[in-house]
Amino acid sequence: MKKRVGILISGRGSNMRALIEAAKEKDYPAEIVLVISNVADASGLEFARGNGIEAQVIEHKKFPSREIFDNAMDVALNAANVEIVALAGFMRLLSPRFVEKWHGRMINIHPSLLPAYKGLHTHKRAIEAGEKFAGCTVHFVTPELDDGPAILQAQVPVLPGDSEDTLAARVLEQEHRIYPQALRLVAEGKAKL
């Protein structure tokens, strides 16, 4: 049985697209059954719907607290019988209670070689620090930001003259490569928290 996956996005969902494309393969151990965005006009929603996947908008601004917003997402994920949650450019901090509910079943992709450069502006910070390599990490989500155990990492060189955009584009290619691989490992039970 394929594992049922819900993806949370806030924007174009390029990593979501990579997961949806991977899940089309016959032998892929997961199926994408739901996409939720906290932003009503996120372009990733149309891509999901165009691929026959239920896509919902749950706008965080319409809820009085983070906990109540997270609970609404939890209700939607459970209604779709989701077993694994994949964050793909989801730009909201999650409440500890939500993270605990999905303990060991929620993964995220981050555009740095964790534990380096948690949080935002990872490429700018790597360039300014004179790093020789940058990259991306798929990790299990824990209550601390970008702190859960890594499942897979990929590295790319930081080239002379790199801008945030050129480095980000090179890292994004690797994100699209390793996120489907990491989800496969989790769905197959080969990567566990």
Question: Which residues are part of the catalytic machinery?
Answer: 110
CA–CA dist 168, 34 (Å, integer): 27
HSE of 47 in the Cβ direction (CA atoms, 13 Å)? Answer: 20
Q: Are 122 and 155 in contact (CB under 8 A)?
A: no
Tell me the two tokens of residue 162.
């790199």
